[in-house]
Chain A
Amino acid sequence: MSAPVLFVIVGKNEPLFEAEIDTHSSVGAPGQNDLSTRQNYFVLHSALDLVEKSAWTTNSMYLRVVDKVNHQQVSTFLTAANVKFMLLHGGKGEEVVKNFFNEVYGYYVKLSMNPFYKYDTPITSKAFEARVRAAARAYLS
Chain B
Amino acid sequence: MSSKSQASQAGQALWSKMPKANAELFALTYGSLVTELVRDYEDPIEVNAQLDRIGHSIGVRCVDEFLSKADVAGMGMATQCQNLRDTAEVVAKIGFKMFLGIQAEVGGFSQDQRSFSIYLHDNPLSTFVELPPGDESSGGDDLSRLKYSNLYCGVIRGALEQVNLKVECNIVRDTLKGDEMNEIRVELKEVLADGAGDDYKEE
Contacts and interface: CB of A to CB of B under 8 A. Distances in A.
A126 B31 CA distance: 20
Interface of B: 24, 28, 31-32, 34-35, 127-133, 143
Nearest to B129: A114
A125 B127 CA distance: 16
A110 to B, nearest CB: 6
Nearest to A116: B132
Contacts, number: 34
Contacts of A113: 24, 28, 31, 127-128
Q: For this complex, into which size category does the number of interface residues on chain A fall? A: 10 to 19
A93 interface: no
B128 A126 contact: no
Interface of A (DSSP majority class)? loop
Interface of A: 110-111, 113-117, 124-127
A105 to B, nearest CB: 15
B132 A115 contact: no
B133 A116 contact: no
Contacts of B32: 115
A113 B23 CA distance: 13
Contacts of B35: 115-116
A124 B137 CA distance: 14
Contact of A114 (B24, B130, B133): B130
B133 A110 contact: no
Nearest to B132: A116
Contacts of A114: 31, 128-130
B21 to A, nearest CB: 17
B34 A115 contact: yes
A99 B40 CA distance: 41
A124 B133 CA distance: 7
Most buried by B among A115, A124, A127: A115
A117 B28 CA distance: 12
